[in-house]
A and B are shown apart, each in its own frame.
Chain A
């Protein structure tokens, strides 16, 4: 008799859990009471127990995926029992698994966003951006047109939540309140692309050995101290432009820099998957946000293509919603690299834990004025330390170091971003 393993409510307020690791793997015999997996809940990491005997036939939710409470995560059954039917039902309820291609996730997110009129326009995803027109005309209620004209908003930049994408009054009001996307949002971002590479025998060996000696992910850490004078200057100049909205923070600039650098160092913009390494063409930066009792990483998608203003706006909005616990799964999954910044807490330097299946994370410390040697003399300069944690199965020391070098170059010479 098969036992369906569901994501269980392991805390009174839990709505979804992230599978941190499977203690048992497919094919293992399990008994009721055995720990099957470690699940991160809204509160802590809890153990998911087997509630039946048999063989763990199928793991539906791989490590790193977040599953809603009540949805299927695995099946325990007799070794030869037919579980096709169970799995057939489950395929949709496995949630936005990392297993799915990022494009599908993006489409699902876009479709969901359109169906939920209460939600503001989703960050632009390839399939999303439902322009309200039917080819040529933009559909908008007469009232919405008038309001948009009065507020100087371009109808083409608004997403309509009315029937057939009609732009209505609340869409205009929302756009005015929190312009999530400036006019350029109509630009379609490139389709997702990636390449799965089977690790070479050498790499497999390194992976296996390091995993054995250092736990699941073999971390190593690279630290660099960066001169931030020019970045600070450039930032102040930018914030003096226009009406100063939105304000650009140092972190926004770091996100942009890291994203552009990752485009030049694709080897660091990757996921370690069971059986292959996925190198991404697009860069989606996970931004660690401290929330009550923990941490969550909303993702700024296509960060390498976005302007500083777009990044600043998005980062602020995502952080707000993260703190309000209003992020949807598709908003904190799908990142290709993460950044964690504890500079505001006065931390000079720290090491961050990698966010699997990502291969790297950058820990950013505070920007301080320090005496340093410049051209043989002591000068006081703004300095900042960053520490990159790398998954050695994907990134080697030199690879990571070269990436960090590019990051430093860009921060010390901001124009290098567009070099």
Chain B
């Protein structure tokens, strides 16, 4: 099985879906001639032409709305935001138009659109370029929100997102693009709304998504070696709809849970997960559910401060030790 980068996995997904369905097109800043700000769309313009790989001016609200309008009349746009930080400008179209059109029209007008791009922090990009906004988007009924952590998941989920008849928010990560993993050559897709056990374990469930999956796996290794604790790492993959069943099943098995996320703590994705656990698995809990999140501050520039602000394996280990009463 080939080992490819997350970036190339996305590129393959785009390519395959655009080949499969002529109504699928890609639109965004620098996606065409520049080959993609992060090279995710490398080579697509040459294959599919400027009608289907559309370079836009810097006008997030405008081109997001154009995407939604095209979807309203039956095309299947993929709108790329160079980063999700910039998508804040387009939130009116994502939330007020895309998410609500089907409902407001009494079921007449579905919006089969994908909004994709890198979210969260990279390295020293500063406060305005480092935001993880999945909880904002997952808050909205009518949207689906996906955040793959591996190349395999990225390709399979992007294909499903494109085929989905609803607006799908697809959160990638600059820090993930270079990561490598096995991706089959055969056609496959991964359904939205299904979590994945990245590492099976019996003592504690560590729920995570996107960049925090690697953090959780590193923590799990150290927990096994240094503390004889067997951690089950559960990658949500899709934030909305949340695979509550998988989370509950795992917590019922391990009786303990730590929820990890890159975003800020207040009303983060983790808060939703914790709520569902305490409601549905109360009697299985041997300890309160703890969360590990990004620091509750705008992202600082300084390298060490930034590292401090990001959730790392040490924080996960400390939380696991608390819920397993090891400290």
Contact = CB atoms under 8 A, between A and B. Distances in A.
Direct contact of A and B (CB under 8 A): yes
Interface of A: 117, 141-146, 161-163, 168-170
A148 to B, nearest CB: 12
A363 to B, nearest CB: 45
Interface in B256-310: 282-287
B325 A117 contact: yes
Nearest to B326: A117
Contacts of A162: 287, 325
B93 interface: no
A161 B325 contact: yes
A161 B326 CA distance: 11
User: Of B282, B283, B285, B286, which is in contact with the most chain A CB atoms at under 10 Å from its CB?
Assistant: B286
Interface string B69-111: 0000000000000000000000000000000000000000000
B205 interface: no
Nearest to B255: A143
Contact of B285 (A117, A143, A170): A143
B283 A143 contact: yes
A142 B284 CA distance: 7
A389 B159 CA distance: 89
13 contacts: A141-B285, A141-B286, A142-B284, A143-B284, A143-B286, A144-B286, A145-B283, A146-B283, A146-B284, A162-B287, A168-B287, A168-B325, A170-B325
A163 B287 CA distance: 10
Given A117-B325, A162-B325, A169 B286 contact: yes
Given A141-B287, A142-B283, 18 more contacts: A141-B285, A141-B286, A142-B282, A142-B285, A142-B286, A143-B283, A143-B284, A143-B286, A144-B286, A145-B283, A146-B284, A162-B287, A163-B325, A168-B286, A168-B287, A168-B325, A169-B255, A169-B286
B316 to A, nearest CB: 19
Contacts of A168: 286-287, 325
A299 to B, nearest CB: 29
**Which 3 residue pairs across A and B have the least CB separation, nearest first?**
A143-B286, A169-B286, A141-B286
B33 to A, nearest CB: 59
Nearest to A143: B286
Nearest to A161: B325
A1 B154 CA distance: 75
B277 to A, nearest CB: 11
Contacts of A143: 255, 283-286
A250 B220 CA distance: 52
A35 to B, nearest CB: 46
A143 B287 CA distance: 8
Contacts of B286: 141-144, 168-169
B71 to A, nearest CB: 46
A170 B286 CA distance: 9
Contacts of B287: 141, 162, 168
A120 to B, nearest CB: 15
Interface in B120-150: none
B125 to A, nearest CB: 39
A142, A162, A169: most-surrounded residue (chain B CB, <10 A): A142
B258 to A, nearest CB: 15
A169 B283 CA distance: 11
Contacts of A142: 282-286
A159 to B, nearest CB: 14
A46 B286 CA distance: 50
A169 B286 CA distance: 6
Nearest to A170: B325
Nearest to B288: A141
B24 to A, nearest CB: 48
A163 B283 CA distance: 18
A168 B284 CA distance: 11
B118 to A, nearest CB: 40
A146 B285 CA distance: 10
A169 B325 CA distance: 11
A162 B283 CA distance: 17
A162 B324 CA distance: 9
Contacts of A170: 325
A117 B16 CA distance: 57
A141 B257 CA distance: 13
A230 to B, nearest CB: 50
A263 to B, nearest CB: 41
Nearest to B284: A143
A170 B284 CA distance: 14
Contacts of B284: 142-143, 146
A117 B327 CA distance: 10
A117 to B, nearest CB: 6
Contacts of A117: 325
A117 B322 CA distance: 13
B203 to A, nearest CB: 11
A161 B286 CA distance: 12
Contacts of B325: 117, 161-163, 168, 170
A237 B37 CA distance: 88
Nearest to B322: A163
A278 to B, nearest CB: 40
Contacts of B285: 141-143
B130 to A, nearest CB: 35
A162 B284 CA distance: 16
A144 B325 CA distance: 14
A331 to B, nearest CB: 24
B63 to A, nearest CB: 50
Contacts of B282: 142
Interface string B14-48: 00000000000000000000000000000000000
A104 to B, nearest CB: 28
A145 B255 CA distance: 13
A168 B285 CA distance: 9
A247 to B, nearest CB: 34
Nearest to B278: A142
A208 B255 CA distance: 66
Contacts of A163: 325
B196 to A, nearest CB: 26
Nearest to A146: B283
Contacts of B283: 142-143, 145-146
B324 to A, nearest CB: 10
Contacts of B255: 143, 169
A310 to B, nearest CB: 28
Q: Among A143, A144, A163, which residue has the most Cβ atoms of chain B within 10 A?
A: A143
A53 B148 CA distance: 75
B88 to A, nearest CB: 40
A146 to B, nearest CB: 5
